């Protein structure tokens, strides 16, 4: 059995000023991780604490979270910051694996250069030249499975649908100066999100170029729902390409197997949305046995402006089970999918 999970931990941080403090979150998050019982775990939003005495940043919050859990000794791959040499201060990615990781890479503009964007200057005079660079990298790891095949795992966290900063178009603490300025920032954010999704798709196609039957899993917080552009870019469905010869390169969205009333990973008041996804290649989908979205206790997003904080993540984790060749009798599909027997 193979269980692959994805979970946005939402600003996991053990800095002195972290709100809520990490100690208040550990038991809740550890319980969720234990429930996932994952062999491959893709995590998002892990902050890196600054080292003392000139030491580099470290993922000490992640290490504390994993202490005493089954994941403590898992192999680990982590994303790198803009320099490509060290961790970012916020929102790092991590892939944890029960089995050794053969190789990994952190990609940010490796396949697509930053986009140059020309927009009207906020002053209304002239043109402002901006750069739509990705906020975060992609993390790709190669894991040899017990049956000898290679699993290609891509962990990502796309830009949120919130307006990106534009110089002198926003007043600190007072919001945007004009509706036009906000609209340009929102447009810039969409370019960032879609551009990063495209870079992930180009990486997927390179993997298919090397092996048409590659086992590929793309996991993470897409900040987009099914049918939105980032998902369509990554899936490359035949319905969009119009070419049946490309069917083997289409990625399958596993959440579509979940009943519609259970198909959500975040809650905004009364609105439910599926922002977290697990997409797989055709070859991996052939081994698919079920997906669970662990959203039973998902509460509404707290409002920081009202001083609301919660020890929980506002994202629900997803976990998918795949058959690695065991007899069907070893599977329990009722209750939790792919439960170990």
**For the chain, what is the domain count?**
1
Q: Show the domain range for 257.
A: 2-330
- State the pLDDT at residue 125: 62
Say if 88 falls within a structural domain: yes
User: What average pLDDT score do residues 133-145 get?
Assistant: 96
Region at 148 (left for phi over 0; alpha for psi -120 to 50; beta for the rest):
left
**Whole-Å CA distances, 2 to 121, 323, 325:** 52, 6, 10
Question: Which residues make beta-bridge pairs with 252?
Answer: 280
Residue 335 domain-assigned (yes or no): no
| Residues contacting residue 235 through CB under 8 Å, at least 6 positions apart | 250, 251, 252, 253, 279
Residues 6 or more apart whose CB falls under 8 angstroms from that of 230 comprise 158, 193, 194, 196, 197, 222, 223, 224
CA–CA gap between residue 74 and residue 36 (Å, rounded): 14
Rounded Cα gap, residues 161 and 165, in angstroms: 12
pLDDT, position 255: 97
Per-residue pLDDT at 69: 97
341 within a domain of the structure (yes/no): no
In a domain? residue 122: yes
Assign residue 238 the CATH number of its domain.
3.60.10.10
- Is 336 part of a structural domain of the chain? no
* 340 assigned to some structural domain: no
Q: Is 278 exposed, middle or buried (0-12, 13-18, 19+ CB in 10 A)?
A: buried
What pLDDT, on a 0 to 100 scale, did the predictor assign at position 292? 97
Instruction: Report how far residue 135's alpha carbon sits from residue 194's, in angstroms, rounded to the nearest whole number.
Output: 12
User: 0.85 cut: is pTM over it?
Assistant: yes
Domain-embedded: residue 288: yes
φ and ψ at 169, to 5 degrees? -105, -5
pLDDT tier for residue 326 given thresholds of 50, 70 and 90:
very low
Residue 306 has pLDDT above 70, yes or no: no
Q: Is the pLDDT of residue 340 over 80?
A: no
pLDDT higher than threshold 60 for residue 334 = no
* Domain assignment of residue 338, yes or no: no
pLDDT at 336 over 80: no
d(CA 295, CA 318): 9
As a whole number, mean pLDDT of residues 5-12 equals 97
Average pLDDT, the chain: 90
* Residue keyed to tokens 């043109």: 127
The Cα–Cα gap between 267 and 178 comes to: 29
């Amino acid at each position: 059995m193979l269980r692959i999970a994805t979970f946005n931990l939402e600003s996991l941080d053990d800095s002195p000023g972290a709100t809520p403090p990490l100690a208040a979150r550990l038991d809740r998050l550890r319980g969720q991780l234990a429930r996932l019982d994952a062999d491959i775990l893709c995590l998002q939003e892990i902050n890196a604490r600054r080292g003392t005495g000139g030491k580099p940043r470290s993922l000490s919050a992640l290490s504390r979270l994993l202490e005493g859990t089954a994941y403590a000794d898992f192999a680990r791959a982590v994303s790198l910051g803009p320099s490509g040499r060290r961790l970012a201060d916020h929102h790092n990615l991590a892939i944890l694996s029960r089995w050794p990781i053969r190789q990994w890479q952190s990609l940010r503009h490796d396949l697509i250069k930053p986009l140059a964007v020309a927009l009207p200057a906020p002053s209304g005079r002239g043109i402002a030249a901006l750069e739509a660079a990705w906020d975060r990298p992609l993390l790709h790891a190669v894991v040899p499975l017990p049956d000898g095949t290679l699993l290609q795992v891509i962990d990502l966290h796309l830009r949120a649908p919130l307006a990106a900063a534009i110089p002198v178009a926003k007043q600190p603490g007072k919001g945007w100066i004009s509706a036009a300025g906000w609209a340009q920032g929102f447009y810039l954010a969409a370019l960032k999100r879609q551009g990063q999704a495209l870079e992930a798709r180009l990486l997927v196609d390179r993997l298919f170029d090397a092996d048409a039957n590659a086992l590929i899993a793309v996991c993470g917080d897409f900040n987009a729902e099914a049918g939105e552009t980032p998902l369509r870019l990554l899936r490359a469905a035949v319905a969009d390409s119009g070419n049946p010869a490309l069917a083997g390169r289409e990625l399958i969205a596993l959440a579509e197997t979940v009943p519609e009333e259970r198909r959500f990973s975040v809650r905004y008041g009364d609105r439910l949305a599926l922002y977290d996804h697990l997409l797989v290649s055709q070859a991996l989908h052939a081994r698919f046995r079920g997906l669970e979205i662990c959203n039973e206790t998902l509460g509404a997003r707290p409002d920081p402006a009202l001083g609301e904080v919660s020890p929980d993540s506002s994202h629900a984790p997803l976990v998918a089970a795949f058959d690695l060749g065991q007899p069907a009798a070893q599977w329990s599909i009722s209750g939790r999918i792919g439960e170990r027997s």
